[in-house]
Structure 1
């Protein structure tokens, strides 16, 4: 769990709402006590645990039927380790050697009038044998308002100090075909909670944006913006900025962050990590300008984790060593790094980024011009130094951020 007063505040809020979060730096359901009506936790229609290494629950096959939907999780030992599965995306292929065998969990589901769905979930970490998941559970919900069988929320824990709960929803699209829709990976061990924010029968997941981890502060001091996702007919979409959730976001922001006039909380040892989430949440609320102004006043101008770029062509060898000489290393100011990161992650638009003075094309052009001039000057001053030829010179990457 993050060592800050923001998280304890959120946990206290959740307790007042009767919502039980997943601990161990996980993805809690976030609410706010002042939010009118309070967030309503949605219980599953059914939930089964297939495996839990931490609590000595050995892998076991399960079977149940809910509202005509038949669900089975098959567990098979000594199987070839799977390359892909429901909880194994393209970015997480199995690294097990070809000769190794795994305990493999497979999901089988059948609804009236629909074909049987059968797909490997992932391998399980059993004993000393390799695998992907240290826990696995399946919960059934009605996650959208369309008619049809329930959806299956499949979740597992990949183990490790800082990671990770991986989850996916197995349901059907508008054509009645089975579809697997991944949820964003979350820190810690647990199943994402389902809530009805506005008490209107909707179903939402309130999660953290893990893309902010490590970018502006070490993991323990990183602060993550809140994200609201919804599931509809086979797909997950982010709805954080929809007007229907503005009151929830304002309440969350008011309780979890200081006012614009107050300094950041004193426990923010690496304040730039806090301010990154502050500006992102401000953007989600339509208060980007106020959040940006607040950041400019309080950010740490001397942080030692600033990104850099090289103001000299990287093919130039100084005293026979390839790399950027210290005299040509240029630091990237925190506001620039933040603006370009928020643009990349979709929190601000190109126009908003340019309005802050950080047009990506202009930044790249300026860096290229400086690098070209410095390189020409250096070569003129060092004609005897070995230079890389144009043919072997790598393409310029431009901005660090």
Structure 2
């Protein structure tokens, strides 16, 4: 019998789920997957578009705006601070030191300090004089006045003590003794009676209030608390537990569906990328490599290069023709000038003073007039 018992459950192990939870989980996950897959695919498409937009547009624009902001706002203020405000502040500080601090220090050392020492010496002399006057003059006078006042006070106290004793005896037997008798034999019994009556009335009121409070407590308990407790215990708590189970399952289903939708979206994206590659990119690449490149080479070798050679030859021929025409025009202009003004007389050649050719001057072959052989 011990072998047929299930093993004990660990406290951290999840609680066993019932058939109701399993029955709710499967359709909820199916519905959530159907609803979440389009949302996840749209989300992934927006993420890809956002990344592409961020990499191609927003980041370069942000860097340009950052550089522009630095060029417009930061660098002018840095230059103003470094090359204007700091030198001006240093100059103002130097001027303040020269015009204010140094004169003030000199005035304090050479003028105010001696005057202060003189004033302190005068004040010490005045204080010593006042101390001597207090000790030698005012103190004896004060002691004498105090002795006189003490004597007058003692005399007045003796006279007032006799008058006060008579007044006290009269007040004791005319006021205190009658008042004590009235308090002891009239006010005290009346006060005790009134206190006993007040205690009885307070006990009666307390009993009435306690009874009314108990009645109201039981009425409220029977009419409000017990129905509310029954409603919470037998209606709201089960409904809340059921809603909690449903909500937890919906949340788990949404998370599971979101992950599955991510994988589906990734697979669809890869499929679309592969499809786009095989439909557009690979045919274009194949056409470029196998068709357009040989055709371009043939066109370059058969058409463009001969056309370029022909254009260069035409250019050379045109330049030669223009050169010949320019020479003919120059010759005709020279013949016309010769026909009008005659032959121009040629200038006589002047012997060169320096050495001809690439010969260099040496100590043995000088070309000057004084050392020439």
Greater share of helix:
2
Task: Give the TM-score of the pair, scaled to structure 2.
Answer: 0.16
Larger Rg: 2
Greater share of strand:
1
More relative contact order in 1 or in 2 (CA 8 Å, sep 6+)? 2
